[in-house]
Structure 1
Amino acid sequence: MWRHGFGRVHKWLGLSLALWMVLVALTGTLLLYKTELLQLQYPQLRLVEIPSATEAAAVFNRFDAGYAYLPRADKPWIEVVDGAGTTFYFDGSGKELLARPQLGDWVSWMVEFHHHLLLHELGKDIMGILGLLSLLLVIAGVVRWWPRHWSWRVLSVRFVRPGQRQFIATLWQLHRSSGVLFLVPIAVLLLTGTAIMYAASVNAGLSQLLPQKVPQNVPRQAKLLPQTTAANWQQRFAIANQFWPQQTPRLVYLAPTEEGNYRMRLQHADEWHPNGRSYLVFASQGSLVSADDVRAKSLGFQLSQMVYPLHIAAVGGWSWLAAVLLGGLALMLLPLTGVWFWWRRRAHR
């Protein structure tokens, strides 16, 4: 009886979430190759030589709002997002290669849909709710399917052409087997995607659950350098290299905080997060006033910073990227075969 109940939950949730799941899986899978898609649409972004941090700093000095990314291998350009949401791309000489206004091309539409359903903060809340429902959908499907007796036949698929009568069995077998075989990447993608929507709560919850510090070989921080002025980003990067030579600047905030301070994010060699989660803060007059090393944070906080890299396959090399791709394809196949099976079965009855 309880298996039947889980089956009904799985069916109605699947029918309700099918279109959303296909579109989110499709956009997410394509965005794994965002750099390649941008370079395909805008050939001027195919830079051979990666700009240096000094060259990036010269560009950052021209902006006083928004944020910017330093060049790296998977983004071989200087990228600045201004206060209006327009993204600018520059080469090492400081020449503007491209200006992409928000929702100005199909890649930007995909990003906004995948993140916020094109509804800004409301879309983020909706995405979080749909993510939780999708996790319930997967749990209900696994419970409903779980075989009483295991054998290789529980995952077999007999392929029949759509025009034949037995095609309905093929749909069911495809739906079942793809869900089970790719259960791990599917579960990781749905879990991490939902956690990203509730990032603040996840960070706080894990920090409280695992407050202990991880013993790491964190270098002693030298004294801050209040006597050193840093009126521009070149000087701030020089101070960062002197203070934390083992960390690499990845992202800077171009607009000062309410206190008039400037911030940058840095990444250490063993860190998963591509933008880093260590912070340096510079006062408006240029002195380094605070440093926050992610390696000195609690175990729970450090675990929470692994959610985003797992979701976008920023770690794990080609093996995890392949698993994420297969998981994304499975998340498209599952609702398609499920709805098709439901419709054919209903028509047959």
Structure 2
Amino acid sequence: MWRHGFGRVHKWLGLTLALWMVLVALTGTLLLYKTELLQLQYPQLRNTIMPSIAEAATVYDRFSAGYAFLPRADKPWIEVVDGAGTIFYFNGAGKQLLTRPMFGDWVSWMVEFHHHLLLHELGKDIMGVLGLLSLILVITGVVRWWPRHWSWRVLSVRFAKPSQRQFIATLWQLHRSSGVIFIVPITVLLITGTAIMYPTAVSSGLARLLPEAEAVQVTPFPQQDAANWQQRLNIAQHYWPQQTPRLVYLTPTAEGQYRMRLQHAEEWHPNGRSYLVFADHGPLVRADDVRSKSFGFQLSQMVYPLHVAAVGGSFWLIATLLGGLVLMLLPLTGVWFWWRRRLHR
């Protein structure tokens, strides 16, 4: 009786979430290749020589608001996002290669849909709720499927043409088997995607569970003043030579301070989670090494890299790609099976 109840919950949740899941899985899978898609659409971003930190700093000084990414091997350009969300791309000589206003191309639409359902902060809240419901959908599906007797046949698929009567069995078997075989990447994608919608709750919760922190040596701050980004980045390289600057905030804080994020060698997060803070036209005033944070907080910073396959090499990238494709296949086969079964009855 309880299996039947789980089945009903799985069916109606699946029908409710089907369209959302297909679109989110489609955009997320395509965004795994965001850089390649941008280079395909904008040829001027191809074959660029990676600019130096000094060249990037010169460009940053042109802006007074927004944030900017340091050049990387997979993104060999200077990328600045201004306060209005417009993205500017420059080469090492400081020449502007491209301007992408928000919603100015289909890649931008995909990003905003995947992150916020095109609804800004409201969309983020809705995404969080839908993500939690999708986890319930997976749990009820596994419980409903769980076989009483195990054999290889529980995962077999007998293919039939859509015109054949047996095609309804093919849909059910394909839905069942693909979900079970790829349960690990599917679950990781759904858990990490939902956790990204609740970053504060996830990080604080894990910090309480794992409050221990690694002992990190504190180095005295240099008293050298920094009037521009070149000087701030020079200080960062000398103060933390083992960490790499990844992102700078061009908008000063309410106290008039400037921040940058850095990544250490063992860190998963591609943009780093260590911070250096500089006084306006002044010296380094604060350094927050992520390794000095609780183990729970450090664990929470692994959520985003797992979701976007920034770690794990080709193996996890392929697993994430297949997980995204299956997340599109599951609602399609599930709804199709429900519809064919309804017509049959």
Work out whether the TM-score is over 0.5: yes
| Residue 161 of structure 1: aligned partner | 161
User: Are the equivalent residues in 2 in contact too, given 1:47–1:77 (CA < 8 A)?
Assistant: no
Structure 2 gap ranges (5+)? none
User: Are the equivalent residues in 2 in contact too, given 1:47–1:91 (CA < 8 A)?
Assistant: no
User: Are the equivalent residues in 2 in contact too, given 1:89–1:96 (CA < 8 A)?
Assistant: yes
| Residue 62 of structure 2: aligned partner | 62
Q: 1:221 aligns with which of 209, 218, 221?
A: 218
Looking at structure 1, the residues matched to 322 and 85 of structure 2 have their Cα atoms a distance apart, in angstroms, of 32
User: Are the equivalent residues in 1 in contact too, given 2:274–2:289 (CA < 8 A)?
Assistant: yes
2:316 aligned with 1:290: no
Which amino acid in 1 is paired with 2:270? P
Q: Shift of the alpha carbon at 1:229? A: 1.1
Moved more, 20-29 or 42-51: 42-51
Which amino acid in 2 is paired with 1:56? A
1:78-97 equivalences in 2 (<5 Å): 78-97=78-97
Deviations, residues 206-258 of structure 1 (Å, cap 9, x unaligned):
1111101246xx4x3321112x0110111001100110000000000001100
2:317 aligned with 1:321: yes
Q: Shift of the alpha carbon at 1:35? A: 0.2
| Residue 243 of structure 1: aligned partner | 239
Which amino acid in 2 is paired with 1:224? F
User: Are the equivalent residues in 2 in contact too, given 1:254–1:262 (CA < 8 A)?
Assistant: yes
Looking at structure 2, the residues matched to 148 and 214 of structure 1 have their Cα atoms a distance apart, in angstroms, of 47
| Residue 183 of structure 2: aligned partner | 183
User: Are the equivalent residues in 1 in contact too, given 2:228–2:281 (CA < 8 A)?
Assistant: no
| Residue 266 of structure 1: aligned partner | 262
Moved >6 Å (runs of 4+): none
Looking at structure 2, the residues matched to 208 and 194 of structure 1 have their Cα atoms a distance apart, in angstroms, of 20
2:190 aligned with 1:194: no
Matched residue count: 345
Deviations, residues 59-96 of structure 1 (Å, cap 9, x unaligned):
00000000000000111110000011100000000000
| Residue 121 of structure 1: aligned partner | 121
Which amino acid in 2 is paired with 1:129? V
| Residue 23 of structure 2: aligned partner | 23
Q: 2:271 aligns with which of 258, 269, 275?
A: 275
Q: Shift of the alpha carbon at 1:323? A: 0.3
- State the secondary structure of the residue aligned to 1:98: strand
Looking at structure 2, the residues matched to 164 and 27 of structure 1 have their Cα atoms a distance apart, in angstroms, of 33
- State the secondary structure of the residue aligned to 1:274: coil
Looking at structure 1, the residues matched to 335 and 189 of structure 2 have their Cα atoms a distance apart, in angstroms, of 21
User: Are the equivalent residues in 2 in contact too, given 1:179–1:330 (CA < 8 A)?
Assistant: yes
Looking at structure 2, the residues matched to 246 and 14 of structure 1 have their Cα atoms a distance apart, in angstroms, of 48
- State the secondary structure of the residue aligned to 1:72: coil
Q: Shift of the alpha carbon at 1:278? A: 0.1
TM-score with structure 2 length normalisation?
Answer: 0.99
Looking at structure 2, the residues matched to 4 and 32 of structure 1 have their Cα atoms a distance apart, in angstroms, of 38
Deviations, residues 127-168 of structure 1 (Å, cap 9, x unaligned):
000000000000000000000000000000001111101000
TM-score with structure 1 length normalisation?
Answer: 0.98
Percent of matched pairs sharing the same residue: 79
Deviations, residues 253-307 of structure 1 (Å, cap 9, x unaligned):
0011000000000000010000000000000122000000000110100000000
Q: What is the Cα-based RMSD across aligned positions, in Å?
A: 0.7
User: Are the equivalent residues in 2 in contact too, given 1:263–1:282 (CA < 8 A)?
Assistant: yes
Looking at structure 2, the residues matched to 46 and 270 of structure 1 have their Cα atoms a distance apart, in angstroms, of 29
